[in-house]
Amino acid sequence: MDIKENGTTISLIRGDITLESTDAIVNAANSRLAGGGGVDGAIHMAGGAQIMEECRSIGGCPTGKAVITTAGLLNARYVIHTVGPIYKDGRHNEPELLESAYRSSLELALEKGLKSISFPSISTGAYGYPANDASIIALKTILEFTKANPGKLELIRFVLFSDQDYNTYSESLKKLLKTARKTA
Ligand code: ADP
């Protein structure tokens, strides 16, 4: 599913983010930037040791922030490593921190002059964030970003790993667009 908002294409696809050739791909990292399972493991596995070397010299990243490295053997030029919140009950700042992880990644892409970026579904794997709630926050943050920075990024893509996640994000995007059109 592709839509255009404020000069930016927002695209949802089902797939493996390590195969993307956008300027940057985003990694759902941990705060030590130590690698791990899930999408983090897949990115380091496919990208080679260079990415981990750069992560080691950066040292870490607080929850809700983002850092950037080159992308080693991957097709993308950069990996933006962001740290989403570990979900407890939704009353420990999780929504704000998740929003901040997306926003920090987008701001870093702008600072670097990048034109395209791919996101995984941050925090909804090992970190346990309910996918439906997370998808609303992710997409809302991205829609707000395009409004504040019209046309600055050409493409913002979500690469969803399962059909279920793809369907969740598609439904959420449709809902958000409907609400936006009503209040416009
Ligand atoms: P977190 O620790 O932030 O929850 P995970 O990596 O455990 O991060 O999960 C985040 C999401 O990334 C999950 O939906 C998972 O299915 C998905 N995922 C895992 N591998 C890949 C991949 N290669 N490409 C895209 N998404 C992936």
Q: Are 3 and 175 in contact (CB under 8 A)?
A: no
Looking up residue 66, the CATH number of its domain turns out to be 3.40.220.10
Check pocket membership of 159 for ligand 1, CB cut-off 6 A.
Answer: yes
How far, in Å, is the centroid of ligand 1 from the Cα of 81? 13
Check pocket membership of 64 for ligand 1, CB cut-off 6 A.
Answer: no
Distance CA 10, CA 118 (A): 10
Check pocket membership of 121 for ligand 1, CB cut-off 6 A.
Answer: yes
Axis crossing angle, helix 94-111 with helix 131-148, rounded to the nearest 10: 40
Q: What is the pLDDT along the chain (184 residues), one digit of tens a residue?
A: 999 999 999 999 999 999 999 999 999 999 999 999 999 999 999 999 999 999 999 999 999 999 999 999 999 999 999 999 999 999 999 999 999 999 999 999 999 999 999 999 999 999 999 999 999 999 999 999 999 999 999 999 999 999 999 999 999 999 999 988 777 6
Please report the pLDDT score of residue 180 as a whole number. 81
Check pocket membership of 94 for ligand 1, CB cut-off 6 A.
Answer: no
How far, in Å, is the centroid of ligand 1 from the Cα of 125? 5
- To test ligand 1's pocket by mutation, which of 30, 39, 121 has the most ligand atoms within 8 angstroms of CB? 39
For the sheet containing 155-160, what is the strand order?
Answer: 2-5, 8-14, 155-160, 116-119, 24-28, 78-82, 66-70
Distance CA 74, CA 24 (A): 10
Check pocket membership of 83 for ligand 1, CB cut-off 6 A.
Answer: no
What are the structure tokens assigned to 154, written together? 């050409």
89: containing domain? 2-183
Q: Which of 2, 16, 40, 133 is catalytic?
A: 40
Check pocket membership of 22 for ligand 1, CB cut-off 6 A.
Answer: no
Please report the pLDDT score of residue 171 as a whole number. 98
Q: Is residue 89 annotated as part of the catalytic site, yes or no?
A: no
Total tally of structural domains belonging to the chain: 1
Nearest to 145 by CA among 93, 91, 109, 97: 109
How far, in Å, is the centroid of ligand 1 from the Cα of 39? 4
